[in-house]
């Protein structure tokens, strides 16, 4: 297409630099949301000019951070094989994977989303995929046939959020995933 600018892939060293900047941005902004680009550059171990060359503005950096985190979250879901693994296995794998990503990128994933952004589109796709896994679990009689799957999804998200906010820092993601899935599927009532 005439006049359309095509993004070129980054060289390996440039890609490492961007990754270091995004990881530093997550750490620095989580501790100090108003931190400057210079503070982020210092934490990333790159020159101030490097961060300004890679990101036109602080907002561009934050948008890239949100998109990168959402992509990692989408990959965490993919890695759980939501379409092919047995539903209970997929739910466990996805939950453990998501806990790791959300724990590492809490600031970026907690940013308010521009509804037209790539991050928002990825989050919407993740929600649709979650409903699909829950539907498969419902078809396997793991979830009541009358259950509102959007409510189940929101409850599942809340359980993940509480696990990350609770006293489970440093807890094994697999152990937390078992607790989350057990609570989601069986509640807190007495067991037979």
- How does pLDDT run across 29-45, given as a tens digit for each residue? 999 999 999 999 999 99
What is the pTM assigned to this prediction?
A: 0.85
User: What is the model's pLDDT at position 6?
Assistant: 46
Q: Which of 16-20, 89-93, 150-154 has the lowest mean pLDDT?
A: 16-20
**What is the predicted pLDDT for the residue at 166?**
72
Mean pLDDT, residues 111-140 taken together: 94
Choose among 112, 73, 117, 109: nearest CA to 94: 73
CA pseudo-torsion sign 115, 116, 119, 120: positive
Task: Give the residue-averaged pLDDT of 10-31.
Answer: 87
Average pLDDT for the chain:
90
Distance CA 46, CA 98 (A): 29
User: Which candidate, 65, 86, 87, 80, places its Cα nearest to that of 21?
Assistant: 65
Confidence (pLDDT) at 5: 47
Closest CA to 128 of 107, 153, 148, 145: 153
């Amino acid at each position: 297409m005439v006049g359309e600018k095509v993004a070129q892939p980054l060289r390996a060293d440039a890609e490492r630099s961007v990754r270091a900047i995004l990881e530093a941005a997550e750490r620095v902004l989580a501790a100090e949301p108003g931190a400057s680009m210079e503070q982020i550059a210092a934490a990333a171990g790159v020159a101030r000019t490097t961060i300004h060359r890679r990101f036109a503005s602080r907002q561009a950096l934050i948008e890239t951070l949100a998109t990168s985190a959402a992509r990692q979250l989408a990959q965490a879901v993919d890695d759980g094989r939501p379409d092919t693994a047995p539903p209970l296995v997929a739910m466990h794998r996805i939950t453990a994977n998501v806990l790791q990503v959300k724990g590492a990128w809490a600031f970026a994933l907690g940013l308010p989303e521009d509804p037209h952004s790539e991050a928002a589109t990825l989050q919407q796709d993740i929600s649709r995929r979650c409903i699909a896994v829950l539907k498969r679990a419902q078809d396997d009689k793991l979830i009541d046939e009358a259950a509102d799957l959007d409510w189940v999804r929101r409850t599942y998200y809340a359980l993940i959020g509480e696990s990350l906010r609770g006293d489970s820092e440093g807890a094994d993601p697999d152990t937390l995933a078992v607790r989350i899935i057990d609570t989601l599927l069986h509640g807190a009532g007495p067991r037979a």
